Amino acid sequence: MNIETAKQINLADYLHSLGYSPVKQQGINLWYKSPLR
């Protein structure tokens, strides 16, 4: 994977595929809980 390919990936979709869902949505911003807690 190069940088151009990486820029095409939607971060929210990638996190969802890993099982992380946002706990809050404020406008276009998605808020997630820290996986380290």
How much is the pLDDT for 3? 96
The torsion of the CA quartet 11, 6, 34, 36, rounded to 10 degrees, works out to: 150
Reported as a single tens digit per residue, the pLDDT across 1-37 is 899 999 999 999 999 999 999 999 999 999 999 988 7
Strand extents, DSSP E, the chain: 24-26, 29-31
The pLDDT value given to residue 9? 95
Model confidence pTM above 0.85: no
Q: What is the pLDDT of residue 36?
A: 87
**Residue 37: its pLDDT value, please?**
76
